[in-house]
Amino acid sequence: MKKRILALAVALALFTTGCSGGQEPKGGFQPDFTTGLGARVEMAAVEDGYFAAIDHEVAFYVEKSTLDYTVFCADPTCQHRSGSCLAKRIGGAVYATQVYDGELYFMGGEYNVDILQAVKTDGTGLRDVRTLFDRSKDRWPDKQPGSHFQYPYAILDGQIVFCPRSSVVCVSGIDEPIEDATVLFSYNSAHPRMIDGFEAHWDVWVDGGCFYYCGLNYPGGEMKGSASWLLYRYDPKTEENALVWRSDEMAGTHAINGWYLKDGVFYYYVIPQPYEEVEAGLFRCDLDTGETVRLSDCQKGTWAEYDSQYIYLIDYDAEAITVLSLETGAEVTVLDLEAALAADGLDLQHGDGFYEDFSIPGADETYLFVYCDNVEDSETGRTFHPLYAVEKERFPEGVWHQVILFNWYDFNSD
């Protein structure tokens, strides 16, 4: 396993080589680099590399051909410890990083104010795009102050669909004032709750020129009755906003842990429930015909992530990822994260058994990326938060590369 760790004071020569030279970066919504899980690392792709905002701390640029990295900061004298550092600003925001029209979008702002910001992919031209929520002013369209943990959004053809609060989904032009946004969905309740008591939230997707948004219907909200997962489609050309799928018509009111859309087909992972007799496994629904089939009965993970080729079932206890074919549901391989870490002298320190342990921030045709939230060096006892890449063309054996061995103190100590 190779380790590629560059001095963090290196200037952005590597970055400009990877992202300039007349190449247009990949833009818009990138489904293989947008996951439905609020992980502690976010990634976005350009033609020759990747942006990675790690652990709510620092943003990096990774060159695709070598997996070498540098801190995403255009100032060669910066020590990357001040809040004014671009890499710290992006890394501190972390949620829903995307590349669109030559700019990297991310969530920023200050205490109680959450702002969608953008910076050019060469590290210049930082700007505020819009305020999504200002708790001190009870800003429209929320009408209510309150806590919130993520702001999913997606950009398509100059329009943006976003969720400034868990119970509100809006659409407008990228740079239009939030007051002019159109509300697509809103609960009647100011603070809707999921079945398990956590605050409900919505995730946003793009497929086939349309926006999709999916979330859990609160029984006391707009749609009365038993709780169910809802999937809506918004066509920005016709402005049609339609409910295209709901779980209690096909799969009951159980938990759906991870979903994906590709070419009008909706994929979702149903986990067993202790008090419900439901059919668990991976399902595929053709949204045009409504035909639903169980793609696989595999239940080797707590959470499912997807890309355009594979389904990844994450088993936090076993420290492993079961890889299935997106097309057929057949098992391809099992990736042993525990062995990969041990080869580098690292040991995963388990948190709450969920995404605090490890997560999948993205993938493309070349690599699957895996982030570990908290690992310990067996020799020194130091704690790290590494980002790994697995070569997809070398499935099924699984070849792991340590990309970034992130340590919090490297960016916060004198």
What pLDDT does 81 receive? Answer: 85
Q: Which residues contact 1 (CB under 8 A, 6 or more apart)?
A: 340, 343, 344, 400, 401, 402
How confident is the model at residue 302, as a pLDDT?
A: 86
pLDDT at 356 over 80: no
Chain-centroid distance of CA 194 in Å reads: 20
Classified as helix, coil or strand, 31 is helix
Q: Which of 5-19, 327-341, 358-372, 388-402 has the lowest mean pLDDT?
A: 5-19
Q: Is residue 207 part of a domain?
A: yes
pLDDT tens sequence across 19-51: 333 334 456 788 888 765 556 788 999 989 999
List all residues 6 or more positions away from 295 whose beta carbon is below 8 Å from its beta carbon. Answer: 267, 281, 282, 283, 284, 324, 328, 329
Question: Would 382 be classed as within a structural domain?
Answer: no
pLDDT band for position 254 (50/70/90)? low
**108 found inside a domain:** no
Question: In this model, does residue 13 exceed pLDDT 80?
Answer: no
Exposure on the CB side of residue 258, measured as CA atoms within 13 A? 25
**Confidence band, pLDDT 50/70/90 cuts, at residue 293:** very high
Structural domain that includes position 139: 135-257
Indicate whether 203 belongs to any domain: yes
Higher pLDDT, 194 or 290: 290
Task: Count structural domains, the chain.
Answer: 1
Do the beta carbons of residue 371 and residue 40 sit within 8 Å? yes
pLDDT of residue 232: 94
Note the pLDDT tens digit of each residue in 144-202.
Answer: 444 344 567 888 988 988 877 666 788 888 888 777 788 888 765 544 444 444 455 67
Between CA 300 and CA 399 the distance in angstroms is 21
pLDDT score of 300: 92
Residue found by looking up tokens 């629904």 in the block: 285
Domain annotation covers residue 211:
yes
Name the E strands within 1-152: 41-46, 49-54, 58-63, 69-71, 98-100, 103-110, 113-120, 127-134
pLDDT of residue 139: 46
The answer to the question of residue 229 being in a domain is yes
Q: 3-class DSSP state for residue 96?
A: coil
Say what the pLDDT of residue 63 is: 96
Judge whether 156 lies within some domain.
Answer: yes
303-306 vs 292-296, strand pairing mode: unpaired
Answer whether residue 148 is part of any domain.
yes
